A and B are shown apart, each in its own frame.
Chain A
Amino acid sequence: AQKVTQAQTEISVVEKEDVTLDCVYETRDTTYYLFWYKQPPSGELVFLIRRNSFDEQNEISGRYSWNFQKSTSSFNFTITASQVVDSAVYFCALSEAWLTGGGNKLTFGTGTQLKVEL
């Protein structure tokens, strides 16, 4: 069975600090997809990034960067120079590959609440 663990329940930082949100996953599939979603205080879920299991290149998008390491089954998310607007709950999620018959199910972690203070 798939599992996603976000061990950090809550993180508080001061604005402009860098912060890393950890995500560790378990799957028996060799092909799978990893996602990060953001849930701001307003409540909607916003898609941030998708990564497939064959692509271990790190990705950077503005102040956001993602580090995918298959050797440690981790897909960590770093926010550089954090801002108050980054305050939200961040979810890591795992999906089985379509062709293995696992369908399209997303398994979510429990989320990390990030609070960025002035």
Chain B
Amino acid sequence: DAGVIQSPRHEVTEMGQEVTLRCKPISGHDYLFWYRQTMMRGLELLIYFNNNVPIDDSGMPEDRFSAKMPNASFSTLKIQPSEPRDSAVYFCASSFSPGQGRGQPQHFGDGTRLSIL
């Protein structure tokens, strides 16, 4: 079965450029999450969606960050304009809803390693 698919795997770009990260969740999963991983701050939840609707975006660091989920099989995380401190690994994860069992595990994609020069 296909897992969570993220693209690109690696992205190197200049400061000030727009960056778009993409995610395809596991089919049938109702929840989608975006995380950021850095050495200094570890794994941080940025935003999550339920049935394509953003539920909690309190982890989004600044207005430069935005996320969308236009349909059940696709989400984007956009940074505009990008800054060197945005360099990190960005993970997308998905899970079933509670109706199919509580405490459903989140399944992660392979991540996008982002470097802003």
Where the two chains meet, the residues of A that have a C-beta atom closer than 8 Å to any C-beta of B are 33, 35, 37, 42-47, 50, 52, 91, 95, 97-99, 103-106, 108, 110-111
Q: Which residues of B contact A44 (CB under 8 A)?
A: 108-111
Q: How long is the Cα–Cα vector from A108 to B45 in the complex, in angstroms?
A: 9
The listed residue (A52, A99, A106) touching B45 by CB distance below 8 A is A106
Q: Which residues of B contact A98 (CB under 8 A)?
A: 98, 102-103
Total A-B residue contacts, Cβ distance less than 8 Å = 55
Interface residues on B, range: 20 to 34
Q: Which residues of A contact B27 (CB under 8 A)?
A: none
Closest chain B CB from A105 CB (angstroms): 6
CB pair B103–A33 under 8 Å, yes or no, is yes
Closest to B30 in A: A104
Q: Which residues of A contact B56 (CB under 8 A)?
A: 103, 105
CB pair A95–B42 under 8 Å, yes or no, is no
The 14 sampled A-B contact pairs (Cβ below 8 Å) are A35-B105, A43-B110, A45-B108, A46-B108, A47-B106, A47-B107, A103-B55, A103-B56, A105-B45, A105-B48, A105-B56, A106-B106, A108-B43, A110-B42
CB pair A47–B105 under 8 Å, yes or no, is yes
A108-B42 CB under 8 A given contacts A45-B91, A98-B103, A103-B55: yes
